[in-house]
Chain A
């Protein structure tokens, strides 16, 4: 059936259960598209950047998937959870600080009120702030499709810039989760923007740090974007830090190693290569320090 108007859809579904949503996707056999808040997808659709879909399957109304819950050692967020819900959730502010921080800088309030973290992740931009925040926390996602559902590490879902292994015409990212930071753990996020006409970050970085009793770093995760086609986990820098002291010198070292292991690009009207490097040098140590202070219970 032809599309009623260009860059639109004919049917807009708001299924109440995952099963119902999956059934719709099956029924449309690739001609329906999953939509969350739609704050990216619909703007792009209006501009004709996506092939027309006959139907939109809005997954923000699914019962039980619009809340943030604590479950079996995880903080779990359904696919209907908006950035605003995350930013104002006391549990996440305390035990997933870098996710709360990263979601708080997305768009403006109206976008955060509608846009979902699941949508941010499924969009798979190299520097989606919410995605960078969740990646630092070691997040996992649950994908449901015709054959049932399964959990997978977040970083395994990225295929390329704006491309996810989640098939947005046949699968649904139903839930996201991470293990909350415990005693002696902390996390932090920072982003650098410019005030001119580009809504994309110059650099977005998240960290999660775990300290031993003697303040040695026992575990760390560092996420960054955009430093390549997909959100990046800075493993070499993480290796540098693990087992060492939480000192400014170590943090500086980690930043240098991170820079050596990636090729930061210059992007027209957005940032020079040198500027991005400088921002990593300045702010990666800063957020490592902030996460450590949080782990020590001294930071905000």
Chain B
């Protein structure tokens, strides 16, 4: 230990700490300044940025003693005497805060820039300064606007041009938690420190496929400071979890099926001791042959990932059949038949997974803490049952799965949702929830398990890698006559949500078009890769790339305009989806196409042109995405609203549901719905999300469903509460609960409505290709989204900008590479999400075709913006260069080779080593 002296946020600080500390650790752990967040510990993501002597540095790899004697500024210093710093105010005004985990780092990086440049700063300077400070949610456009406003430039928040539907509905409003986030006061799971808390780590398999011969934990148990080491033998209940099929071991028993499998868990007095204990656990394996490719895994002699199944590695064969496929192609004047490949990708939410479990009977006083008898949750509260603090997308399923593993009833477990630093589908499956609960009950202490970024990359489910062959036929006027497709999806080692995701890929494989004859076969296949699961777009992102690439090829063959061929076939009222669902309302695709088409075709419009060594071109793509679970699954959300009059006789309310906020803006949506019903200002509505003892089940936060289902539940609960309040005395608070059931849907293959609503969009991308290097830049995106009804234009704009930029990453930068079941992408430095330098100018139009069942007509939009961008970009690349991209992400090396040799397509993406395999169409029925 040595004395470290800092001038921290204007005050001298002397603290005795080990010289081996990094600055981020001293700030967060030793000084309790948890406003500074840690995303990677690799100096890659920049969210840990603080100012040392006025200069931005990444505190995660900055030795604390390197700052000896220096001035250090963190987010906590920014607002003085309750006054927000101009940057903080601007981030609120512009909705530049979503999940908020990056916000302190982004703001501190921007502050140094602002201090240096003042009012004159330019977009280019912002782009240079923030190049390595990443944000996964916003797409950066709102961040740029906010920084310019803070610099004193006259920049208004960019909002869609809509007519507000109410006093709260349709009005811009920051998310209720945003204020805490910009001040560094928002608490994510890793920011909690319970008295007596232990630190846990997981022993990972490291090998992709092996039979476990023995697990020896004796040496780890004997290490001083180790409180518990658990293996499968210590799981009292069901040693499996899974959202659809319970095939995922809590702790592996007979074998391991991917490199990230959990074999043992340790709780110790410190994270260092826990890490050291892992090194002392000896696991003997008999390694098994590895299957790491979905198509190879279907071969009769392929190694079996799960033994004893009738279908080998085939997890599910999903089919869509409509009309007569042969007659459809016979009627076609032109046919395009092409095979595409899409990569596994990583959510890269900037907050790595973290869970804390607190044992039943916990009293902080037993560990030297203070007790607050009024506290319902947190470090000063008692806990009467096993309680898990986690930023999760599905609190109630976490509860159920944890209870099953503990061998107790679900209501013997409580899940408290903390703020979530990004999810995007990647925080639906179990990670540390069960492990910490087991360790907490074993040790009778709170236990925290924080994944390192590298562990996060290894463990959680990815977006499905796919190979997709699509044959599309059309008449000479562009009318589609038939679509036939085969999809292979790599499900990885465990089922997770593969069946659901790939069902969505399958049902959307004819695009948002009325196609009379459709035949699609999709195979979800187990492999020894990391499991695949939910990821914004939920399978549709993959099939849309293929569908919309084929549409442009078909248009070219037929000599048709790209917008026109889409208009001819666009789904509309009275037209039918590939599953035979006839749309009766809320189908604004044609209007979306028109708005984008008009926006794109200004004066002197050209599809493509040259400037210097660059070629520019526009590309167009459209998409649709279901709102809600659909397919016959009951789709229910409950909400409770409590209403009371405060001391000034103003009506106040709190709405409670266990839906999840991960940055998408749900609290503001719920508050708007309740405020609208009660006729009160939104600021009078508090939102409590995700405490399974206090909030009704909102169901999973997935499938772009929460605005629709929880929005409805909140609205209808508020309506009930308003009636009660009218009859209550002024001193009384009233409560009402509403369990909203979305309209009944039908299972795939049974006809009728598979979904209760669809959202539609069109996007045009202006792309620049550097003809010297093959580098691709997206310069502009014009988008139009039919969202039914706008609830909050500020957060809606953020969802659209962020979704588009995320899909730019899918198209140009991202590939989670696995080699024979081992991730090559094992550090964040090997996975690049879009930085501020990738963000294009975005013009977002909103189309409102209300859906009758939605709250005020709204339907989901969380996923939709992240679906068609890849095809729009690749259609533009084709127009600029004559090269059709068949595999993502686009490789500049391959693209330049094709440009130089005159090749008309590329099938190797960045990270691909093998050509796209040939797959057959026309699976026997």
Binding site for B on A (CB under 8 A): 4-6, 8-12, 14, 38-39, 42-43, 46-47, 56, 58, 60, 84, 107-111, 113-114, 192, 194-199, 268-269, 271-272, 274-275, 278-279, 282-283
A279 contact set on B, CB distance < 8 A: 773
Closest residue to B346 on the A side, CB-wise? Answer: A197
Q: How many residues of B contact A (CB 8 A)?
A: 54
Closest residue to B897 on the A side, CB-wise? Answer: A274
Q: Determine if B489 is an interface residue (Cβ-Cβ < 8 Å).
A: no
**Would A58 and B132 be within 8 Å (CB), given that A110-B58, A198-B830 are in contact?**
no
Expressed in whole angstroms, the Cα–Cα distance for A269 and B831 within the complex equals 12
17 contacts between A and B (CB under 8 A): A4-B18, A10-B20, A12-B66, A39-B61, A109-B128, A113-B55, A114-B57, A114-B58, A192-B773, A194-B892, A197-B813, A269-B824, A269-B911, A271-B893, A279-B773, A282-B773, A283-B772
A12 contact set on B, CB distance < 8 A: 19-20, 63-66
**Would A11 and B19 be within 8 Å (CB), given that A114-B62, A275-B897 are in contact?**
yes
Expressed in whole angstroms, the Cα–Cα distance for A282 and B892 within the complex equals 15
Which of B18, B49, B824 has the most A CB atoms < 10 Å from its CB? Answer: B18
Interface residues in B120-166 by Cβ distance below 8 A to A read: 128-129, 131-133
Q: Determine if B910 is an interface residue (Cβ-Cβ < 8 Å).
A: yes
Expressed in whole angstroms, the Cα–Cα distance for A202 and B288 within the complex equals 37
Expressed in whole angstroms, the Cα–Cα distance for A72 and B574 within the complex equals 84
**Would A272 and B61 be within 8 Å (CB), given that A108-B133, A197-B831 are in contact?**
no
Expressed in whole angstroms, the Cα–Cα distance for A9 and B18 within the complex equals 10
Q: Determine if B832 is an interface residue (Cβ-Cβ < 8 Å).
A: yes
Q: Determine if B358 is an interface residue (Cβ-Cβ < 8 Å).
A: no
A192 contact set on B, CB distance < 8 A: 773
Taking a contact as CB atoms under 8 Å apart, the answer to whether B43 and A39 are in contact is: yes
Binding site for A on B (CB under 8 A): 18-20, 41-43, 46, 49, 55-58, 61-66, 68, 109, 128-129, 131-133, 272, 275-276, 772-773, 775, 812-815, 817, 824-825, 827, 829-832, 838, 889, 891-893, 896-897, 900, 910-911, 913
B900 contact set on A, CB distance < 8 A: 278
Taking a contact as CB atoms under 8 Å apart, the answer to whether A196 and B832 are in contact is: yes
**Contact partner of A109 among B63, B132, B825, B829, CB < 8 A?**
B132
Taking a contact as CB atoms under 8 Å apart, the answer to whether B772 and A5 are in contact is: no
Closest CB in chain B relative to A200 CB, distance in Å:
10
**Contact partner of B61 among A38, A60, A108, CB < 8 A?**
A38
A84 contact set on B, CB distance < 8 A: 55
Taking a contact as CB atoms under 8 Å apart, the answer to whether B66 and A58 are in contact is: yes
Closest CB in chain B relative to A91 CB, distance in Å:
20
Taking a contact as CB atoms under 8 Å apart, the answer to whether A47 and B19 are in contact is: no
A107 contact set on B, CB distance < 8 A: 132
Closest CB in chain A relative to B897 CB, distance in Å:
7
Expressed in whole angstroms, the Cα–Cα distance for A232 and B891 within the complex equals 27
Given contact pairs A110-B132, A196-B910, A198-B829, a sample of 16 additional A-B residue pairs in the complex whose CB atoms are under 8 Å apart: A5-B272, A10-B19, A12-B19, A12-B20, A12-B64, A46-B41, A46-B42, A109-B132, A110-B49, A110-B58, A111-B43, A196-B814, A197-B813, A197-B815, A268-B913, A278-B896
Expressed in whole angstroms, the Cα–Cα distance for A272 and B891 within the complex equals 11
Expressed in whole angstroms, the Cα–Cα distance for A4 and B814 within the complex equals 37
A113 contact set on B, CB distance < 8 A: 55-57
**Contact partner of A196 among B129, B131, B272, B889, CB < 8 A?**
B889
Expressed in whole angstroms, the Cα–Cα distance for A266 and B650 within the complex equals 71
**Would A196 and B41 be within 8 Å (CB), given that A5-B272, A109-B129, A271-B893 are in contact?**
no
Closest residue to B893 on the A side, CB-wise? Answer: A275
Expressed in whole angstroms, the Cα–Cα distance for A38 and B22 within the complex equals 12
Expressed in whole angstroms, the Cα–Cα distance for A192 and B773 within the complex equals 8
Taking a contact as CB atoms under 8 Å apart, the answer to whether A47 and B827 are in contact is: yes
Closest residue to B58 on the A side, CB-wise? Answer: A110
Taking a contact as CB atoms under 8 Å apart, the answer to whether B20 and A195 are in contact is: no
**Would A110 and B46 be within 8 Å (CB), given that A4-B18, A12-B66, A269-B911 are in contact?**
yes
B824 contact set on A, CB distance < 8 A: 269
Expressed in whole angstroms, the Cα–Cα distance for A282 and B773 within the complex equals 9
Which of A11, A14, A46 has the most B CB atoms < 10 Å from its CB? Answer: A46
Taking a contact as CB atoms under 8 Å apart, the answer to whether B63 and A6 are in contact is: no
Expressed in whole angstroms, the Cα–Cα distance for A195 and B812 within the complex equals 7
**Would A6 and B910 be within 8 Å (CB), given that A11-B19, A114-B62 are in contact?**
no
**Contact partner of B66 among A8, A14, A110, A272, CB < 8 A?**
A14
**Contact partner of A58 among B42, B63, B891, CB < 8 A?**
B63
Taking a contact as CB atoms under 8 Å apart, the answer to whether A46 and B132 are in contact is: no
**Contact partner of B132 among A4, A60, A108, A269, CB < 8 A?**
A108
Expressed in whole angstroms, the Cα–Cα distance for A227 and B824 within the complex equals 24
Expressed in whole angstroms, the Cα–Cα distance for A103 and B401 within the complex equals 52
Expressed in whole angstroms, the Cα–Cα distance for A267 and B469 within the complex equals 30
A39 contact set on B, CB distance < 8 A: 43, 61
A198 contact set on B, CB distance < 8 A: 829-830
Closest CB in chain A relative to B123 CB, distance in Å:
16
Expressed in whole angstroms, the Cα–Cα distance for A8 and B272 within the complex equals 11
**Contact partner of B813 among A58, A108, A196, CB < 8 A?**
A196
Taking a contact as CB atoms under 8 Å apart, the answer to whether A42 and B832 are in contact is: no
A196 contact set on B, CB distance < 8 A: 813-815, 832, 889, 910-911
Closest residue to B833 on the A side, CB-wise? Answer: A197
State the 9 A-B residue pairs at the shortest beta-carbon distance, nearest first.
Answer: A108-B132, A8-B20, A197-B830, A12-B65, A275-B893, A12-B19, A108-B131, A42-B61, A197-B831
Taking a contact as CB atoms under 8 Å apart, the answer to whether B61 and A197 are in contact is: no
Closest residue to B272 on the A side, CB-wise? Answer: A5
B42 contact set on A, CB distance < 8 A: 43, 46-47
B66 contact set on A, CB distance < 8 A: 12, 14, 38, 58, 60
Closest CB in chain A relative to B18 CB, distance in Å:
6
Taking a contact as CB atoms under 8 Å apart, the answer to whether B275 and A6 are in contact is: yes
**Contact partner of B131 among A109, A275, A283, CB < 8 A?**
A109
Taking a contact as CB atoms under 8 Å apart, the answer to whether A269 and B910 are in contact is: yes
Closest residue to B129 on the A side, CB-wise? Answer: A109
Expressed in whole angstroms, the Cα–Cα distance for A182 and B892 within the complex equals 38
Closest CB in chain A relative to B610 CB, distance in Å:
17
Expressed in whole angstroms, the Cα–Cα distance for A271 and B893 within the complex equals 7
A269 contact set on B, CB distance < 8 A: 817, 824, 910-911
Expressed in whole angstroms, the Cα–Cα distance for A283 and B773 within the complex equals 10
Expressed in whole angstroms, the Cα–Cα distance for A6 and B55 within the complex equals 29
B892 contact set on A, CB distance < 8 A: 194
Closest residue to B18 on the A side, CB-wise? Answer: A4
Expressed in whole angstroms, the Cα–Cα distance for A108 and B831 within the complex equals 16
A47 contact set on B, CB distance < 8 A: 42, 827
Closest CB in chain B relative to A273 CB, distance in Å:
10
Expressed in whole angstroms, the Cα–Cα distance for A282 and B613 within the complex equals 11
Taking a contact as CB atoms under 8 Å apart, the answer to whether A195 and B61 are in contact is: no
B827 contact set on A, CB distance < 8 A: 47
Closest residue to B271 on the A side, CB-wise? Answer: A5
Closest CB in chain A relative to B601 CB, distance in Å:
29
Taking a contact as CB atoms under 8 Å apart, the answer to whether B57 and A110 are in contact is: yes
Closest CB in chain A relative to B833 CB, distance in Å:
9
Closest residue to B828 on the A side, CB-wise? Answer: A197
A108 contact set on B, CB distance < 8 A: 46, 131-133
